[in-house]
Amino acid sequence: MSVQALRAGALATAVTAPSSALAGWGVNLPEGVTSISNTIYDIHMWVFWICVAIGVGVFLAILWSVLAYRHSKGAKPAHFHENTTVELIWTVIPFLILIMMAIPATGTLVDMYDTSDAEMEIKVTGYQWRWQYEYMDEDISFFSSADTPRDAERNLIKKTEDYKYSVDNPLVLPVDTKIRFLITSNDVIHSWWVPEFGWKQDAIPGFINKNWAKIEEPGTYYGLCAELCGQGHSDMPIEVKAVPKDDYREWVAEQTGEDG
Amino acid sequence: MSAVADAHAADHHDHGPAKGIGRWLFTTNHKDIGTMYLVFSFAMFLAGGAMAMIIRAELFQPGLQMVEPAFFNQMTTMHGLVMIFGAVMPAFVGLANWMIPLMVGAPDMALPRMNNWSFWLLVTGSLILMSTLFMDGGAPNFGWTAYAPLSTTYGPDSTTFFIFSVHILGISSIMGAINVIATIINMRAPGMTLMKMPMFVWTWLITAFLLIAVLPVLAGAVTMLLMDIHFGTAFFDAAGGGDPVLYQHIFWFFGHPEVYILILPAFGIISQIIPTFSRKPLFGYTSMVYATAAIAILSFLVWSHHMFTVGLPLPGELFFMYATMIIAVPTGVKIFNWITTMFRGSISFETPMLFAIGFVVLFTVGGLSGVMLAIAPADFQYHDTYFVVAHFHYVLIPGAIYGIFASVYYWLPKWSGRMYSEALGKAHFWLSFIGLNIAFFPMHFLGLAGMPRRYADYPIQFANFNQVSTIGAFLFGASQLLLVFIVYKAVKSGPKADAKPWDGAEGLEWTVPSPAPYHTFEQPPRVD
């Protein structure tokens, strides 16, 4: 099955897909800003439409049965209770459909696990309840904590668009650069998730997990901790500022200049 | 031989229930114990439901209105534990107690004294679990999965009581399972071969083997938590050379078969009810038995699909993805068999049948979202979001809970000798059906749009669907109170039921009077 076919399936849903990540009635995954997130979105839509087709078929069969064979309309029951051919068919066909799903899924998974040839590395460490970012190739390291005002949580002041998303020190990353993330934790298990990158990866004490992203568009991308980590679980958001390479080099110089 | 048996039986003609509270404390009668299991599990269902209402009330709006996050986490944890170990599993054991002896033509369960003990251990374990809510530092707050080190180094003091209650509840369930196996293997009426057993008996037999296989694994997992907390071991503590992911492997080796423990008996119930109200034999009985066994065996090979984001190696991800997808095949066989049973039948829509059809429709939704979740690369997005919450509630409510409701309406005439109000039963079904879909369908959207689960507070982009979901949840919750009224009214003043109130029903349980006498099948029936 070709990527074009996947794209066609994805296009078909463009109507229902949210135009903005902050849409109040968002119903679907974001397509994201990396090639991996795009592929994951396409697989998601491909599997989704197959499931819709199966669901519609099953529901029509049920609807037909309950409408056409009503006791109250004097329906007389048949007595068949076995048919080897039919049973074989509905064992084999689902199996074939599953293979159609498994093939693109396998390819994508292999790509996701290819963290080689990264141009830079970011170490992400989870704490109760904030993130630490270390730029392995630069002398930059800082904590990133939520800065949603307490009064907004207590409904004393109006909530802004970035309520529960904004942080004091966003993670600044360059676009068009293959970035390897090394993810770990200092206390309990957390999970670092930016939906626009297409994945979450658990931050586990004693383990260093890997994943990667090559951001294709500059912008601000939000994420949230996705593994229950205590009472501040919803208070450790992620804010990524993806900037053009030149701006990134400027930012790095600024940071290291301040430190030195 | 039979003359001797007759004379023996005649000596004991006057064995009614004991008087007073002693009847319930000391009973070894499978019907009394079954009733106690069902009543107790329904009480726990209401308690767990009340916790769900607190969760949904807090999530009605962004911000913190009703409860603090610390208490919110206790509610999500206890809701899961109470519903799984207090409501669904005991309800199935109650149904097994009442119905398996009646369906296989046995006078009682094989081990009646152990039966009493396993019920009272259930009460004990449940009370210990509930008592943690009143302890200093609060109840367990780390999710029903109790991932280390959140549950060890960072857990509240009550974790020890949680572990103890899991041990007790596990012993209770294992004893129930042993009893079910011993009854089915040894006490079937003459002529009832394995492949003539009713589907409910078959699915419970397989479930009982699953219970015996995996509950000791859970007991081992929580015992290691206990050792880490109190005895200085470091099974799951990275600082001491332990491995937090090991806990997840052990837990889910229990946890995934557990999911099927919660659903297989319901499969059996639906396989009893659909043929009755379609007035047509179950399509593909043999393949139903094999599909159930296949699901049970596969359930041991898929546990890591709960752990796709922990950093498994690529071959591991692929293996667990493929194995999980294969479960869709036997599950599909079951759905197709149920529909084909209805096809060209003569269908009427009494309340048990409504719940059974609701089961097939909504379980299909949950099954299909399960296929989506099995796709490992996409699960890197879905994992630990509300999409997962939507998925497993679509499997467990229409699956386990609807299955239990359907069987209560189906067998209540046999238990009580009285009919429930069909109009109220139908109202209960439709309110539950509408409430469930309003509550849980929007959670698919929330999860895909990016809302993680177990969040006490959330960004405003998720406000709309959370509001819708809360309204649906309260409708669903409130309509369960109707069931209390329906059962009370039926038992108190319902019209008398015939021995076989459903004209399409088959099976030994309909050959005894309604209500079923205190002792049945003292002489085994013959099955041809």
ipTM of the complex: 0.92
For the stretch B462-510, pLDDT in tens is 999 999 999 999 999 999 999 999 999 999 999 999 999 999 999 999 9
For residue B327, which of B283, B284, B366 has the smallest C-alpha distance?
Answer: B366
In which residue ranges of chain A is CATH 2.60.40.420 found?
Answer: 120-259
The predicted structure's pLDDT at residue B4: 45
Strand partners, A193: A200, A224
For the stretch A172-214, pLDDT in tens is 999 999 999 999 999 999 999 999 999 999 999 999 999 999 9
* CB atoms A202 and B311 under 8 Å: yes
Are the beta carbons of B456 and B57 closer than 8 angstroms? Answer: no
For the stretch A4-20, pLDDT in tens is 555 554 444 443 444 34
The predicted structure's pLDDT at residue B17: 86
A interface mutation test: which of B448, B464, B466 has the most A CBs within 10 A?
B448
Active site residue B306: yes
Active site residue B165: no
Binned at pLDDT 50, 70 and 90, residue A1 comes out as: very low
For the stretch B55-93, pLDDT in tens is 999 999 999 999 999 999 999 999 999 999 999 999 999
For residue B490, which of B410, B399, B420, B405 has the smallest C-alpha distance?
Answer: B420
The predicted structure's pLDDT at residue B154: 95
**What average pLDDT does range A115-142 have in this prediction?**
96
A101: nearest CB among B73, B244, B375: B375
**Would you say residue B15 has pLDDT above 80?**
no
**Would you say residue A90 has pLDDT above 70?**
yes
For the stretch B214-247, pLDDT in tens is 999 999 999 999 999 999 999 999 999 999 999 9
The predicted structure's pLDDT at residue B10: 47
Alpha-carbon torsion angle B130, B136, B137, B143, nearest 10 = -10
A18 versus B106: the higher-pLDDT residue is B106
The CA distance from B96 to the nearest CA of chain A, in Å, is: 26
For the stretch B277-310, pLDDT in tens is 999 999 999 999 999 999 999 999 999 999 999 9
Percentage of the residues of chain A whose pLDDT score is greater than 70 = 90
Distance in angstroms between the alpha carbons of the first and the last residue of chain A: 54
For the stretch A68-81, pLDDT in tens is 999 999 999 999 98
Measured between alpha carbons, how far is B358 from A62 in angstroms, rounded to an integer?
Answer: 10
* CB atoms A210 and B314 under 8 Å: no
Considering only alpha carbons, which residue of chain A is nearest residue B454? A228
For residue B398, which of B361, B431, B344, B372 has the smallest C-alpha distance?
Answer: B361
The predicted structure's pLDDT at residue A20: 44
- Contacts with A, B 11-40, CB within 8 Å: none
Percentage of the residues of chain A whose pLDDT score is greater than 90 = 86
Kindly state the tokens that stand for B102.
């009646």
CATH topology of domain A120-259: Immunoglobulin-like (2.60.40)
The CA distance from B378 to the nearest CA of chain A, in Å, is: 6
Active site residue B126: no
The predicted structure's pLDDT at residue B14: 55
User: May I ask the CATH class of domain B29-511?
Assistant: mainly alpha
Average pLDDT, chain B: 95
Give the largest Cα separation in chain B, rounded: 78
DSSP at B132: G
For the stretch B420-461, pLDDT in tens is 999 999 999 999 999 999 999 999 999 999 999 999 999 999
Are the beta carbons of B526 and B190 closer than 8 angstroms? Answer: yes
Chain A residues in contact with B380 (beta carbon < 8 A) = 40, 112, 198-201
**b (16+ CB within 10 A) / e for B65-74:** eebebebbbb
B262 versus A22: the higher-pLDDT residue is B262
Binned at pLDDT 50, 70 and 90, residue B1 comes out as: very low
B294 touches chain A (CB under 8 A): no
* CB atoms A25 and B70 under 8 Å: no
For the stretch B349-406, pLDDT in tens is 999 999 999 999 999 999 999 999 999 999 999 999 999 999 999 999 999 999 999 9
* CB atoms A199 and B380 under 8 Å: yes
Are the beta carbons of B449 and B462 closer than 8 angstroms? Answer: yes
Report the 3 state secondary structure along A156-172: CCCCCCCCCCCECCCEE
Active site residue B32: no
**Active-site hit among B108, B228, B317, B379:** B108
A3-112 CATH pick, 3.40.50.300, 3.40.50.920, 1.10.287.90, 1.10.1240.10: 1.10.287.90
Considering only alpha carbons, which residue of chain B is nearest residue A222? B450
The residue written with tokens 């066609």 in the block is A8
Distances (CA, A) of B382 to A69, A111, A199, B305: 40, 18, 9, 12
Active site residue B331: yes
Measured between alpha carbons, how far is B480 from B86 in angstroms, rounded to an integer?
Answer: 17
The model's pTM? 0.94
The predicted structure's pLDDT at residue A4: 53
B368 touches chain A (CB under 8 A): yes
In which residue ranges of chain A is CATH 1.10.287.90 found?
Answer: 3-112
